[in-house]
């Protein structure tokens, strides 16, 4: 990609941010050509409608959203604001614009419907471990409730059977719960499970550990594991 005045100015900065360093590592360790080739048979064929955005650009946008925990609109705005993200995507604003939130939503749906998202998650962890970015030895565990609409004002006049109510503190929530295991040395997520919101943290704790973990850190929800 041809350098712009912004690229030259940014390259002369005295300090690199953690985001810069992280994205540089990920750019170097992910086998992009292999991943693109794997997604291509499931991707849009461009025979009907306007041409689809490139697989590599959409894949990188999807990964940025996951790594920085942003909404569809949030990651679109962040790419416009962040030089590091734009550079990671090889996006030149003089020639094209950032894919919009709807385009990203359709791409993510394609990945999940074809079970590609889980394969990519596992592949990222293998790549991080292979290049010494995951330290091993211990895991930090926690869980978070993901709320869902509790209303029955829909076509089926019922709530989603996979969702349940749970009380946290003095407040009730309806939805699911994400159980997450994080490498204690680097902070990278290495394991995720999803349950109904009423499933207790302790019942999923063992699924978040690795065979060679020597310790686990968690809150009181994991006492008795």
Domain ranges in the chain? Answer: 5-130, 138-222
This prediction's pTM? 0.69
User: Cα–Cα distance between 152 and 169 in angstroms, integer?
Assistant: 25
Report, as an integer, the average pLDDT of 64-78. 91
Report yes or no: 91 and 83 within 8 Å, Cβ to Cβ: no
- pLDDT at residue 68 above 80? yes
pLDDT per position as a tens digit, 204-215: 999 999 988 999
For residue 160, pLDDT over 90 is answered with no
Task: Name which of 35, 42, 41 is nearest 110 in CA terms.
Answer: 42
For the record, the structure tokens of 198 come out as: 């009423």
Give yes or no for a contact between 139 and 214, defined as CB atoms under 8 angstroms apart: no
Residue 125, pLDDT score: 83
pLDDT of 13 reads 64
Mean pLDDT estimate for the chain: 86
Average pLDDT, integer, range 156-180: 88
Question: What's the mean pLDDT in 31-58?
Answer: 83
Strand-pair category, 164-168 with 138-147: unpaired
Is the predicted pLDDT of residue 22 greater than 90, yes or no? no
Note the pLDDT tens digit of each residue in 90-124: 888 878 889 999 999 999 999 999 999 989 988 88
**pLDDT of res. 73:** 93
- In degrees to the nearest 10, what's the CA dihedral of 98, 103, 104, 105? 150
| Confidence bin at 50 (pLDDT 50/70/90) | low
Which residues is 182 bridged to in the sheet?
A: 140, 189
Under a CB-based contact definition with an 8 Å cutoff, are residues 142 and 174 in contact?
no
Q: What is the pLDDT of residue 161?
A: 82
Identify the bridge partners of residue 172 per DSSP, sorted by sequence position.
Answer: 167
In the prediction, which pLDDT does 136 show?
Answer: 76
Helices (H), 30-97: 32-39, 55-68, 72-81, 83-88
Half-sphere exposure of 100 (CA within 13 A, CB side): 1
What is the Cα–Cα distance from 207 to 108, expressed in whole angstroms? Answer: 25
Q: Is the model's pLDDT at 11 over the cut of 90? A: no
Confidence of residue 162 (pLDDT cuts 50, 70, 90): confident
Instruction: Report the distance separating Cα 124 and Cα 65, nearest Å.
Output: 14
């Amino acid at each position: 990609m041809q350098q712009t005045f912004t690229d030259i100015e940014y390259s002369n900065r005295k300090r690199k941010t953690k985001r810069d360093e992280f994205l540089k590592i990920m750019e170097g360790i992910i086998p992009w050509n292999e991943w693109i080739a794997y997604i291509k048979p499931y991707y849009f064929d461009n025979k009907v409608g306007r041409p689809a955005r490139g697989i590599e650009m959409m894949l990188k946008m999807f990964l940025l959203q996951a790594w920085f925990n942003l909404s569809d609109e949030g990651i679109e705005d962040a790419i416009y604001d962040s030089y590091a993200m734009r550079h990671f995507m090889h996006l030149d604003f003089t020639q094209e614009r950032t894919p919009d939130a709807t385009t990203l939503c359709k791409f993510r749906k394609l990945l999940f419907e074809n079970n590609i998202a889980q394969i990519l998650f596992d592949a990222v962890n293998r790549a991080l471990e292979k290049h010494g970015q995951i330290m091993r030895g211990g895991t930090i565990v926690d869980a978070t409730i993901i709320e869902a609409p509790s209303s029955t004002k829909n076509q089926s006049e019922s709530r989603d059977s996979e969702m349940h109510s749970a009380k946290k503190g003095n407040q009730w929530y309806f939805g699911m719960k994400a159980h997450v295991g994080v490498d204690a040395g680097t902070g990278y997520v290495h394991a995720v499970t999803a349950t109904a919101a009423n499933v207790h943290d302790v019942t999923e704790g063992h699924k978040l550990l690795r065979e060679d973990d020597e310790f686990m850190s968690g809150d009181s929800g994991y006492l008795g594991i």
